[in-house]
Amino acid sequence: MAQRETTEFRGEEDPLLSVQNLQTAFFTDKETIRAVDGVSFDIRRGETVGIVGESGSGKSVTARSIMGLVDSPGRVLDGSRIDFRGEDLTQKSEREYRGLRGSDIAMVFQDPLTSLNPVYTVGNQIKESLRLHQNMRGAAATEEAINLLEAVGIPDASRRVKEYPHEFSGGMRQRAVIAMALACDPELLICDEPTTALDVTIQAQILELLQDLQDERDLAIMFITHDMGVIAEISDRVNVMYAGEIVESAPVEELFENPRHPYTQGLLKSIPGNQPDAERLQTIEGDVPTPNEPASYCRFEPRCPKAFEDCTQVHPASVEVDAETDDHTAACLLYPEDVSQEEAVELHEQRESQREVSQR
């Protein structure tokens, strides 16, 4: 599997986006669903951070929380922080959020038709973005719309700018949506499964396009997918999500060469072609549970081949996997692996009680 070279990463020290202890819950008469439960990660300019996990792991709710797009009965809970350029977005009014969305932060969804209006030409929709976010109109806006379509690799852009979305193929529509997102000149681009509906050739082209645009514009990209192959291609750093939590985080090469969390190991084994000796494809038995209460145990325990008794009684904190690495964490009681299992469990208990105290 091709992996992205991380050695040329040019990120600056301060993160552009810093998510700390993000908790987003949905409240219904019957239950509370803790869709995102204590998620923390950073993204720097010029960096692509991948968020990977099965459906129901909380990836898309994380993205919608950052965008301020969580609809009732859901909300971001107190104690969550989403710092963008050093300002906490959770304190913004809806009006202030609207100013950020589509300008400093833009989002590309899985289905381009949710972002494109069928009754307006592609060019008019890009020009509307340019008018709203860059105050550009008339011939200058038309010229910029053509430039943007060219930048995303749409051939014969001066003709196609006058066409409607239904006249574009699926891959071309997704390129047009990316052009619309770029019309806002964003600093952070959030991509939620943008290549899932596309065939593999078009998918590879879109991933390459995103990398080229990132290099040209120093964009920070948050890339959500359930596909480990796509994550390997595009990410500098990977966060693996399970049942509302990040269970492992590492630079992309380290994660693929040295996965530590049993869930990540299971995901990698289920990639076709990744286990040449296996007689058939391995899958992780069972489903992602719906997190209804604050976790006091490991949510992966029912599916974990390495589970032991403490896993049903202690919630794993995110810890460095060993003393050698300072950039690879896992939320699993098996780590750090350079201490005894008993000592590791004690460390997790201490970290969890510190976290509970800091949240009071």
Q: Which residues bind ligand SF4 (CB under 6 A)?
A: 262, 298, 300-301, 304, 306-307, 311, 316, 332-334
Smallest gap from residue 311 Cβ to ligand SF4 (A): 3
Smallest distance, Å, CB 259 to ligand SF4?
A: 12
Q: What is d(CA 105, CA 318) in angstroms, rounded to the nearest whole number?
A: 28
Report the SS3 class of residue 221: strand
By CB atoms closer than 10 A (0-12, 13-18, 19+), residue 191 is buried
* Location of structure tokens 């869709």: 35
| Cα–Cα distance measured from residue 351 to residue 38, given in angstroms and rounded to the nearest whole number | 13
Place of tokens 């989403």: 82
> What's the closest the beta carbon of residue 110 comes to ligand SF4, in angstroms?
29
- CB 278 → ligand SF4: shortest distance, Å? 21
**Token pair recorded at residue 233:** 């291609």
Q: How far is the CB of 265 from ligand SF4 (least distance, A)?
A: 10
| Between 158 and 350, CB nearer to ligand SF4 | 350
Name the phi and psi angles at 359, rounded to 5. Answer: -90, -10
Q: Which is nearer to ligand SF4, 41 or 300 (CB)?
A: 300
Nearer Cβ to ligand SF4, position 100 or 298? 298
Taking the least distance from each CB to ligand SF4, the nearer of 187 and 301 is: 301
Give the Cα separation of 63 and 53 in Å (integer). 13
The least distance separating ligand SF4 from the CB of residue 147, rounded to whole angstroms, comes to 49
Q: Please identify, using beta-carbon distances, which residue of 307 and 339 lies nearer to ligand SF4.
A: 307
Q: Distance between CA atoms of 151 and 46, rounded to whole angstroms? A: 18
The residues pairing with 251 across neighbouring beta strands, listed in sequence order, are 237
SS3 58: coil
**CB-nearer residue toward ligand SF4: 142 or 318:** 318
Greatest CA span in the chain, whole angstroms? 70
Tell me the closest approach of the beta carbon of residue 337 to ligand SF4, in angstroms: 11
* Token code pair at residue 354: 């510190």
Compare residues 15 and 316 and give the one whose CB is closer to ligand SF4.
Answer: 316
